[in-house]
Amino acid sequence: MVKMSTVSTKELIHAYVQLSGKLRENFNELRSQAKETLDNCPFPTKKDEEWRFTDLKSITSNKFESVDTSVAQANLELDEFHLPEAMNSRLVFIDGNFSPSHSAIEGMPDGVIVGNISDFAEHEQLLSHLGTITNYEDDVFVPLNDVNFQDGTFIYVPKETVIEQPIHILNVFTHRNNPHFVTPRVLFVGEMFSKATIIEEHIGLSDNVYLNVPVNEFRLYSGAHVHHARIQRDSKNASHISRPVAMLDAHAEYHSYTICLGSKLFRNEPRVIQNAEEVDFTVDGLVLIDGEQIADTHSIMDHRFSHGNSHQLHKVVVNDQAHSIFNGKIFVAKDAQKIDSFQENRNLLISDSGKVNTKPQLEIFADDVRCSHGATIGQLQDEEVFYLQSRGLTEQKSRELLVYAFALESVESMAVKSVEELLLKEVIAYTNRD
Amino acid sequence: MSEETKALESMIGEEYKYGFTTDVEYEDFPKGISEDIIRELSSRKEEPEWMLEFRLKSYRAWLEMEEPEWFNATYTKPDFENLLYYSAPKKRPSLDSLDDVDPNIRETYEKLGIPLEEQKMLAGVAVDAVFDSVSVFTSFKEKLAEAGVIFCSISEAIKEHPDLVKKYMGSVIPARDNFYAALNSAVFSDGSFCYIPKNTACPMELSTYFRINNMESGQFERTLIIAEEGASVSYLEGCTAPMYDENQLHAAVVELIALDHADIKYSTIQNWYSGDENGKGGIYNFVTKRGICKGNHSKISWTQLETGSAVTLKYPSVILQGDHSIGEFYSVAVTTKKQQADTGTKMIHLGKNTRSTIISKGISAGESNNSYRGEVKIGKKATGSKNYSVCDSMLIGQSCGAHTFPYISSENASSSVEHEATTSRVGEEQIFYLMQRGISEQDAISMIINGFVKDVLKELPLEFAVEANKLLDIKLEGSVG
């Protein structure tokens, strides 16, 4: 359906749309609006305040082509990535294409939809929600996803319905010789008092170059409850630019945990919008990077109404020449009283050539609120290392153990046992790399 | 609102009617800015050739620069062609006795607890024989000279100490540094020059000096303070009494240089006219202040109490170049009515084992916006460095805003940075607790606010700390509760 197109990255998006000649045939309004944005919006550079610390070289120095959507690799062996808790609630996308043979959706409660977006293109709930809350300013990446996505995840949970098993969204990237870009999409609609757990994974099977631009939309109506874990294990040469947005109505709860392990460049811009009174949300993150990795999180906790609780713990370990960037914004609108918001960014810089930039940011327009943030950049305490050594551990082991302990806090919040175990292994692999 | 508060508010809000009439002395000087104007300005000030060159170079740099817009404030940009860039020292109104002074102003003085004789000085009353300011002034001058301290106007320093000025002016804040610093470098009117020789503790706080000889230096003030090896000095600019000025734009430049083991403490109290209830009028306070800890074990400390001005953009910074050097920033910024303040600091750690502390307290009331913007940067070679920052905001009322923009970065594995910020309000429980101990609501609020800013005000020179507290009370009177 779509021609292969090679584009110079700076005009990556423009060229893509132009070369392909026409837009994809469904969601016409969304796509043509997105195309218009792409035509007018320049690619970000370090001169933009929001991008000033982020080196985009790994995108701009490559030519990415779009992936032919008609071929899915049915014979790929992916069993090792399956979660035992989600054997019957799994959606698999290979290089962005939905793979029915790898996926398994069975035994869902009545009325629940878990499936491929393109199979539900005419669904009323999908049409009325798609693209409604992803309004990023001066942004090219959501529009890129908008014009390009074909397959994706659509989850609809009806009123007062609880999905017991976690839903596993597995994005796998195979080895391809040419750099390519992929635009995974997730649309989640949770009706009143529904409940679900989502595990979203991005796994690079090789070390090839690609650009992964996922967009997530989570619309939670009154009393809906979602636990959302995002695990990024992209190829070490990939670039991952993601935009997860959640909008919450009264008494909704949304708890998200983003774990960044892979990719050369990671830029995550989570946003949670409080759309009514009385909500509760978490935007936690754990970043473990080394080599020449760059991990950048720009989050927004947007309190537009009264009585909201929000919490953010963003933990980072930086080794080698890696570079971590954090900008966490807490907005409290005028008259959004009684907000209790807390943000914490802890950076552990364990190499002399690593670099950390952090900018916690408060913008408060209501007086009766409690908002605070803390940011630290530091190292392991000599006393702590000494204490462990005095118990008979080598210095190396002591340090590994302390880094492990530092990362543990974020991992323990995972609601799914096998994910927690998987992450513990990843943490150990990161700390004991020698 | 009490009668008293009304009177005060009208005093703070109203245009100043007394004195400071248009000066005839500079009527012949044309408005606007050009190379010719700068040449004329320089020749009137009888400056040497190199100074003119410095000004012209800065002017050319300024022409190429764009007015910055990144800060969290909106205002009408000044019309640079309509400004007057040369001003002779101001003529003070001459009144016969304190009874002639505007009663509202006197009330403020009394509330601030300014001694009677000083009130006269500030109000421009001819001073009687009992309080001979000239003799006090002279004895101070002698004392300073004895110690070898050079303390004079920058114009005088350009003529008398050209080597020092040439060496240090523009070394911390180069003309190209930013738009307003470039403008200042081109057209600065006057300011202070201070040189403390080797191993000398300045025999008096230079703040005291200003209490007696309240200097006025016009809208483009330039200050240069140099502390030689082992020298120390404490300097205070500004005044708690409300200051009125017909110049809307104030773009000052302050440069501090601390060599090995030197110690400079710079305190500011700023209470310029902040505009009326609707945000009309008021001073734009766009100041570039920066100090460099050039030597090992040197220390620079900034303390500021910012209560005035319609728009304040000000980031007193320290470059920690010498090993083991220390930078400090203590700030209280209060905004009421429609005031906008975007203020904070930069701590640039370059030397080994450098330390910096930032304590910033913002209080917003009325419809004002108060932003803390700061940068802490720990360079690759600044091993073993530490920073500790706290910035707390307090909101009073439902139409104001508080913002924090701290930029933090570190590039080595032996340094640590700690930053924390909170936003809160005067707690109902706190007020209740104090009131049930028999304290009135207004006093309770005032106590809570004073407690909130205590960490900063204790850094002010003693004689100002008390006044500063009272100034806060006056400023916030009527806005709480």
Instruction: Find where tokens 């070289």 sit.
Output: A57
A372/B410 touch (CB, cutoff 8 Å), yes or no: no
- For the segment A59-79, what is each residue's pLDDT rounded down to a tens digit? 888 778 777 655 557 678 889
pLDDT of residue A414: 84
Range with the largest mean pLDDT of A179-183, A256-260, B238-242, B439-443? A256-260
| A331 contact B CB<8A | no
The pLDDT of residue B78 is 79
Residue B342 within a domain: yes
Confidence band (pLDDT; 50, 70, 90) for A242?
A: very high
Asked if residue B281 is part of any domain, the answer here is: yes
Q: Is residue B435 part of a domain?
A: no
Instruction: Choose between B275 and A161: higher pLDDT.
Output: A161
Using pLDDT thresholds of 50, 70 and 90, give the confidence band for residue A288: very high
Confidence of residue A9 (pLDDT cuts 50, 70, 90): very low
CA distance A232 to chain B (A): 25
The pLDDT value recorded for residue B14 is 39
Q: How far is B372 from chain A (nearest CA, A)?
A: 10
Residue B9: predicted pLDDT? 44
pLDDT tens string B3-21 = 444 444 444 443 433 333 3
The answer to the question of residue B141 being in a domain is yes
Q: How far is A10 from chain B (nearest CA, A)?
A: 26
> Distance (Å, rounded) from C-alpha A396 to C-alpha A390?
13
Closest CA to B271 of B247, B289, B245: B245
Nearest CA in chain A to B427: A368
Residue B211 lies in a domain: yes
A350 touches chain B (CB under 8 A): yes
- Encoding tokens for residue B2? 């009490």
CA closest to B403 among chain A residues: A363
Ranges in chain B, pLDDT < 70 = 1-29, 86-139, 207-218, 239-247, 279, 463, 478-481
Pairwise CB contact (< 8 Å): B420 & A373 = yes
Residue numbers of the domain that contains B269:
3-23+88-94+132-423
Question: Domain count of chain B?
Answer: 1
Q: How many CA atoms lie within 13 A of B139 on its CB side?
A: 7
Q: What is the pLDDT of residue B91?
A: 46
Q: Which residue has the higher pLDDT, B328 or A21?
A: B328
Nearest CA in chain B to A369: B424
CB A150 within 8 A of CB A58: no
**B291 located within any domain:** yes
- Among residues B357, B362, B382, which one has the least CA distance to residue B373? B362
Average pLDDT of the residues of chain A: 88
Interface with A, mutate which of B340, B349, B376, B410 (most A CBs under 10 A): B410
Q: For chain A, say whether B427 makes contact (Cβ under 8 Å).
A: no
The domain locations on chain A are: 9-269, 381-434
How far is B422 from chain A, CA to nearest CA, in Å?
4
Q: Is B452 helix (H, G, I), strand (E, B) or coil?
A: helix
User: What would the pLDDT profile of A104-131 be if each residue is shown by its tens digit?
Assistant: 999 999 999 999 998 998 899 999 999 9
Nearest CA in chain A to B371: A363
Q: Does A29 touch chain B (CB under 8 A)?
A: no
Answer left, alpha or beta for residue A330, where phi above 0 means left and psi between -120 and 50 means alpha. beta
How do residues A385-422 score in pLDDT, each as one tens digit? 999 999 999 999 999 999 999 988 888 888 888 999 99
Residue of chain B minimizing CA distance to A351: B413
Measured in whole angstroms, the distance separating CA B93 from the mean position of its chain's CA atoms is 25
Residue B465 lies in a domain: no
- State how far residue B369 is from chain A, nearest Cα, in angstroms: 9
Among B396, B405, B417, whose Cβ lies nearest the Cβ of A376?
B417
Can you give the pLDDT at residue A18?
46
What integer is the mean pLDDT of A345-369? 90
pLDDT band at A16 (very low <50, low <70, confident <90, very high): low
Q: Which of A53, A373, A377 is nearest residue B410 as measured by Cβ atoms?
A: A377
pLDDT at B246: 56
Does A355 contact B408 at a Cβ distance shorter than 8 Å?
Answer: no
A234 pLDDT more than 90: yes
CB-nearest partner of B417 from A335, A371, A377? A377
- Residue for token digits 């069975």? A106
Query: What is the band of A326 on the pLDDT scale with cuts at 50, 70, 90?
Result: very high
Would the pLDDT of A6 be above 60? no
What is the model's pLDDT at position B101?
64
pLDDT at A15 exceeding the cut of 50: no
Q: How far is B95 from chain A (nearest CA, A)?
A: 45
Percent of the residues in chain A that have a pLDDT greater than 70, as a whole number: 93
Chain A contact probe: residue of B378, B380, B390, B408 with most A CBs at under 10 A: B408
pLDDT single digits (tens) B35-58 = 888 888 888 888 888 899 999 999
- Between residues A211 and A12, the one the model is more confident about: A211
A326 min Cα distance to partner chain B (Å): 9
Residue A189: which pLDDT band, with cuts at 50, 70 and 90? very high
pLDDT digits (tens, 9 = 90+) for A31-62: 888 888 887 778 888 888 889 899 888 888 87
Of chain A, the percentage scoring pLDDT greater than 90 comes to 60
pLDDT per residue as tens digits for the range A129-153: 999 999 888 888 898 888 888 889 9
The encoded tokens of residue B380 equal: 């690759």
DSSP character for B98?
G
- Report CB contact under 8 Å: A370, B424: yes
pLDDT above 50: residue A428: yes
Using CB atoms, pick whichever of A335, A349, A366 lies closest to residue B410.
A349
| Closest chain A residue to B411, measured at CA | A355
Cross-chain residue pair B405–A367, CB shorter than 8 Å: no
Q: Which of A335, A355, A362 sits opposite B398 (nearest CB)?
A: A335
